[in-house]
Amino acid sequence: MQPGGSSSVNGATAAGGSADKITKDEVELYDRQIRLWGMDAQNRLRASSVLVFGLSGLGAEVVKNLMLCGLKSLTIMDDRTVDDEDRMANFLIAANAPNGMNRALASEAKTAVLNPMVELRAVEGCLDSLQEADLKKFSLVVLLDQPYPIVEKFDSFCRQNNIKFMTGSVFGWVGFSFFDFNGCRFQTKIKQIDMCDLEGGDSWGNVEGQQQPIELDNDRYEKMVYTYPSFKEAFNVEWNNKKYLRKSKRVVPPSYFVIRAFLRAQEQNILTGDVEKDTVALKSVIHKEICFANQEVNDTTYKEDQLDYYFPPQLSPVCAIIGGFMGQEGIKVCLLVSLNMKPILSHQRLTSFSLHTMCS
Average of per-residue pLDDT across 52-62: 97
Q: Tell me: the pLDDT tens digits for 244-275?
A: 767 776 777 777 888 888 998 988 888 888 88
Whole-number Å distance between alpha carbons of 283 and 147: 19
Return the pLDDT at 23. 84
Q: Over the chain, what is the mean pLDDT?
A: 80
Length of the chain: 360
Cβ-Cβ contacts under 8 Å for 132 (sequence gap 6 or more) = 157, 161
Give the distance from CA 175 to its chain's centroid: 11
Return the pLDDT at 299. 66
Whole-number Å distance between alpha carbons of 268 and 304: 21
Q: Tell me: the pLDDT tens digits for 183-235?
A: 777 666 666 665 555 555 455 455 555 555 555 556 666 777 778 889 998 88
User: Which of 35-44, 128-137, 180-189, 223-232 comes out lowest in average pLDDT?
Assistant: 180-189
Please give the residue that has the higher pLDDT: either 240 or 59. Answer: 59
Cβ-Cβ contacts under 8 Å for 65 (sequence gap 6 or more) = 323, 324, 326, 327, 328, 330, 331
Residue 8, pLDDT above cutoff 60: no
User: Using alpha carbons only, what angle is made at residue 140 by residues 134 and 141, rounded to the nearest 5 degrees?
Assistant: 65
Q: Which domains does the chain have, with CATH numbers?
A: 5-182+316-359 (3.40.50.720), 185-224 (no CATH), 231-310 (no CATH)
CB atoms < 10 A from the CB of 84, how many?
A: 8
Backbone angles phi, psi at 81, to 5 degrees: -110, 160
CA atoms within 13 A on the CB side of 312: 16
Please give the residue that has the higher pLDDT: either 210 or 22. Answer: 22
For residues 72 and 20, is the Cβ–Cβ distance under 8 A?
A: no
Give the distance from CA 316 to its chain's centroid: 16
For residues 54 and 92, is the Cβ–Cβ distance under 8 A?
A: no
Whole-number Å distance between alpha carbons of 163 and 41: 19
Whole-number Å distance between alpha carbons of 265 and 271: 6
C-alpha distances out from residue 314 to 112, 200, 322, 349, Å: 24, 62, 12, 11
